Amino acid sequence: MRVTETAAIPKSPVAQRAPVRIEIDDDATPVVRLLGRTLRDAVRTGHAPEVLGRGTGTVAVRSHVTPQAATVTLHGGAVTVTGGVFAPADATLVVDLESRFAPTRDPDGDAELAGGMLRALRPPLPPWREAAEHFWDVTRGIRGVPDVLVAVAREPEGPQEARFGAGPSTYRMVGTPEALAGVFTGADYLLTSLESGLRVQGTLSQLSVMTAASWKVRFDV
Amino acid sequence: MSELTRPASTRSARTAPTRAVRLEATGHDGSFLGKTVTPAKFASGKESGFAFADILFAIDLGNAFVYGDAFPDWRGNLYDISMIPDMATLVQWKPGLEAVIGDYWLRDGRPVPICPRNMVRRLVERLQALGYTAKVAVEIETTLFAESVQEARARGYRDLTPLGGDTGATYHLARSKDWVDYMDAVTDRLDELGITWEAWTDEAAPGQTELNLAPSDPVSLGDSWVRTKQVMREVAFEQDRSVTFMAKPTAGFGQGAHINLSLHRDGENQFFAPGGPSEVMLQAVGGLMATMAGNTLLALPQITSYRRLVDISGPPTTISWGVNNKTAAVRAIVGHPKYARLEYRLPGSDVNPYYALAGVLAGVVAGIERRMQAPPQVDDMAWSLPYDSGVERIPDTITKAIAALEGDEILREYLGEEFVDFWVASRRWEWMEFHTKGGDPYAELSAWETRRYFEFP
C-alpha cells in the first residue's frame, strides 16, 4: 500500500527526543484523515508520547454508527493509519467520531494498548484563542474565506473577543470556550457544532466556505 | 389540440384541453426538476420566466444543503433565479398536460453559469464559431426490475427480481413478454412525444436494456435524454415495475451512457477522411484525451459511478483511444462519410446528461481551437495495461477525479471557473456524505448508495 508521509514537527522536549512519523493512505478516507490529523496534532503538542513514540501493535478504530473504520499501526516511533480493518487487531476501539473519539463500549483486546490509543486520540484542547489563531493560519487562504474572523467566547466573566484579519467581510462565531476550541482545532465539525449551541453570524455563502475551512482543520482536505 | 400545444409529431395529435403545464429542467445532479403550473400562470410567465430558489443547485440527493465553496454573487441567502421556457421544447406530455424545458437565467439576463443546459448551448455556439455543427447520440443503459418502486423501497432496493429473467446474456429476442411489453410501452411513448429512438436491445446484465437515441444537435439530444429517462420511469410506475439509472444497481454489471459525436460543415461529416481519421477528428481526440481525467468528475459524478471501473468488464479504465477499439475510452469509427464518429465511452448512466455533453464538447472544442495532437492510439486491449505502457489510468475514485478537475486548466477555461469550483465542491461534499453518513467503501455496493441513487437522478 502506498502511503503519504505526513511528518510532524515536534515541539515539546519529549517529542524532540523521539520524533514520530504519522503516515496515512494515499487517497485516504475521512476517518483515516481524521485519525492522522488528530495523531499529528498529538505529536505536535507532545501529547501521549509513551504511546505514539514507543508503542507497538495494531489498533482497529471503528465508528459506533457507520461503517467507518481504520487500522492504526504503531511500530517503533512510526504510526501508520490505513483505511478499513482487514486483519485481526491487537485492540479494537468503538468510538463516536462526532464526539472526539468518545468510546461507546469497552475496548476489545490489549487493554493497555487500547487505553493508550484512546489517550492519544483525545488530547486536551488548547485555549480557544490559541485554537482560533491556528484555525485562521490554516484556513485563511481558502478561496472565499471572510476577510475577518471574530470569535467570541462566553466566559464566566463576560464575553471575550478575538479578531483575526482585516477587510470588509466579517464572520462571527460565538460559543463557549470549549465549543470554539473544538471547532477551531478540528476536534469538532462545524455543522455538528451548530446543532449543539455554537452560533454564527454571516451569510449562507460564508457558512458554505467555513464548512470547507472546518474540513481543512478536521480532515486536512 | 390546445392553443399552447405544438405537435411533437404527427402521432401526437391527441386533443384535450390543457389543464396544466409542466416546467422541466435538471438540477446539478441531473434529476428532472420543475413545477406544474396552470395555463394562465404559464401564459403570464413564459417570456419573463418563473422563479425558482437557487437551492435546486444546492440540495443533494439526501435533501441536505451542499456546502464547501464560496457561492458566487448570484447566490445569496437562497435567492431566486429565473427559469425561462424554451418554447421549441413544448409538447403535449399527455392529454391535459403540456411540458416545456427551460434554462436558468439571472435577473440581469445572463445565463446561470452552472445551468446545465445553458452550458451545452454555450459550447455549441463556440463550436459554431469554428464553423462546425455537432451531431450527438447516446446509448442509454438502464436496469428493469419486476417489483414496483414501492416494493423496491420496502426492500431497500435490494434483492430485486430482474425483469425478463436473470439467465442468458445479451441481444436475446426471446426475453419474456413482461420485459418486451415494458420496452414497447416506452417506445410508444417516445413516438408520441416526438423523441426519435433508433434501437433498443437486451443488454448484458440481468434486467438491463439499452435504448439508443438518434443523433441530433447537442441541446436537443440532452432534452430527449432527460425526457426519455422520465418516460422510462413513468412507464415503470404504470406497469408496477421499477427502473434505475444507477451506475451499478447491483454488485454485478454496471451501466453506461456512451456518447457518439460527429462534426459537420456544409452537410459534410468532417470526421471522415479516406483511409482513417480526419485531421479534425484527431484534434478532437487530442482534446478529449487531454481533458479525460478532469472530465471524469462529470462523466462519473456519484460515488457508485466509480464501482463500474473494473478492467475487462466493459467500461474503459485507461485514458486511451483507438480505431474500432471498444476497450478504449474513445472509440474512433472511421472509413464512412456517414458513420464516421467518436464514441466517448466513459460516462455512466447516472450522469447529468447536459453536463456530460458539455464535458465532451469542451474537450472537442479545445482540441480544435488549440490544434491538439492525438496521442498514439492503443491497438492492444486498453484494459489492464502495465504501468510502463505510457497510458494513464482513468481516475478510479471520486477524490482522484476531484483533484484532476480542480487542476484542469483547459476545462476551467471551456466549462468556466465558476462551474469547476462549484462541481468540485459539490462532489467533495458527496464524498464526505458517503463516508460519514453510512456508506461503506469496502462493500461491493452499500445500502447508503442504493438508497441515495436508485430512484434519482
Distance from CA of A170 to the nearest CA of B (A): 14
- Tell me, yes or no, whether A206 and A132 share the same domain: yes
Matching residue, cell 411533437: B8
- Identify the three-state secondary structure at position A111: helix
Residue B14: its pLDDT value, please? 54
| Cβ-defined contact of A143 to B70 (cutoff 8 Å) | yes
| Position A3 pLDDT exceeds 80 | no
Domain count, chain A: 2
Percent of chain B with pLDDT over 70: 97
Residue B204: its pLDDT value, please? 87
- Tell me, yes or no, whether A70 and A170 share the same domain: no
- The closest CB to that of B76, out of A68, A144, A203, belongs to A203
Closest residue in A to B75 (Cα) is A205
| Position A23 pLDDT exceeds 90 | yes
Helices A204-219 and A177-185, packing angle to 10 deg: 70
Residue A176 contacts residue A161 (beta carbons within 8 Å):
no
- Identify the three-state secondary structure at position B32: strand
Show residues of chain A in contact with B69, CB under 8 Å: 143-144, 208-209, 212
Question: Mind listing the pLDDT tens digit for each residue in B377-408?
Answer: 999 999 999 999 999 999 999 999 999 999 99
Residue A206 is placed in which grid cell?
460564508
Residue B77: its pLDDT value, please? 81
A175-199 CB burial, b ≥16 within 10 A, e <16? bebebbbbbbbbbbbbbebbeeebe
A197 — alpha (psi -120 to 50), left (phi > 0) or beta? left
Q: Among candidates B340, B316, B338, which has minimal Cα distance to B327?
A: B316
- The closest CB to that of A211, out of B67, B75, B437, belongs to B67
Instruction: Tell me the HSE value of B15 on the side-chain side, using a 13 A CA sphere.
Output: 1
Residue A18: its pLDDT value, please? 52
- Tell me, yes or no, whether A109 and A133 share the same domain: no
Question: Mind listing the pLDDT tens digit for each residue in B128-139?
Answer: 999 999 999 999
| Cβ-defined contact of B71 to A208 (cutoff 8 Å) | yes
Distance from CA of A205 to the nearest CA of B (A): 5
- Tell me, yes or no, whether A98 and A142 share the same domain: no
**A/B interface, count of CB pairs below 8 Å:** 72
Last residue of a domain, one of A86, A106, A121: A121
Chain A CB within 8 Å of residue B77 CB? yes
- Tell me, yes or no, whether A198 and A95 share the same domain: no
| Cβ-defined contact of B435 to A68 (cutoff 8 Å) | yes
Q: What is the CATH number of domain B10-112?
A: 3.10.20.70
- Tell me, yes or no, whether A87 and A59 share the same domain: yes
Terminal C-alpha separation, chain B: 32
What is chain A's Cα-based Rg? 18
- Tell me, yes or no, whether A115 and A53 share the same domain: yes
- Tell me, yes or no, whether A161 and A58 share the same domain: no
Q: Domain extents for chain B?
A: 10-112, 126-453
Residue A199 contacts residue A168 (beta carbons within 8 Å):
no
| Cβ-defined contact of A203 to B77 (cutoff 8 Å) | yes
Closest residue in B to A26 (Cα) is B400
Distance from CA of B215 to the nearest CA of A (A): 39
| Position A9 pLDDT exceeds 90 | no
Percent of chain B with pLDDT over 90: 89
Question: Mind listing the pLDDT tens digit for each residue in B56-102?
Answer: 998 999 999 999 999 988 888 888 999 999 999 999 999 999 999 99
Q: What is the mean pLDDT of residues B102-108?
A: 93
- Tell me, yes or no, whether A48 and A134 share the same domain: no
Which of residues B114 and A1 earns the better pLDDT score? B114
Does the B126-453 domain belong in CATH 3.40.30.10? no
Last residue of a domain, one of A100, A121, A142: A121
Residue B381 contacts residue B142 (beta carbons within 8 Å):
no
Question: Mind listing the pLDDT tens digit for each residue in B33-48?
Answer: 999 999 999 999 999 9
Q: Among candidates A15, A72, A24, A73, which has minimal Cα distance to A44?
A: A15
Residue B10: its pLDDT value, please? 43
Question: Mind listing the pLDDT tens digit for each residue in A92-120?
Answer: 999 999 999 999 999 999 999 999 999 99
| Position A180 pLDDT exceeds 80 | yes
- Tell me, yes or no, whether A67 and A117 share the same domain: yes
- The closest CB to that of B436, out of A68, A145, A204, belongs to A68
Q: What is the mean pLDDT of residues B101-128?
A: 96
- Tell me, yes or no, whether A78 and A153 share the same domain: no
Helices A128-139 and A177-185, packing angle to 10 deg: 30
Q: What CATH number should be reported for the domain holding residue A166?
A: 3.30.1050.10
Residue A167: CB atoms within 10 Å? 8
- Identify the three-state secondary structure at position A205: helix
Last residue of a domain, one of A121, A138, A166: A121
**Domain residues for A164?**
128-219
Average pLDDT, chain B: 94
Query: In A33-126, which ranges are E strands?
Result: 56-63, 69-75, 78-83, 91-96, 102-103, 108-109
Residue A55: its pLDDT value, please? 82
| Cβ-defined contact of A84 to B441 (cutoff 8 Å) | yes
Question: Mind listing the pLDDT tens digit for each residue in B219-235?
Answer: 999 999 999 999 999 99
Q: Assign A26 a pLDDT band (cuts: 50, 70, 90).
A: very high
- Identify the three-state secondary structure at position B267: coil
- Tell me, yes or no, whether A208 and A150 share the same domain: yes
Distance from CA of B382 to the nearest CA of A (A): 24
Question: Mind listing the pLDDT tens digit for each residue in B403-427?
Answer: 999 999 999 999 999 999 999 999 9
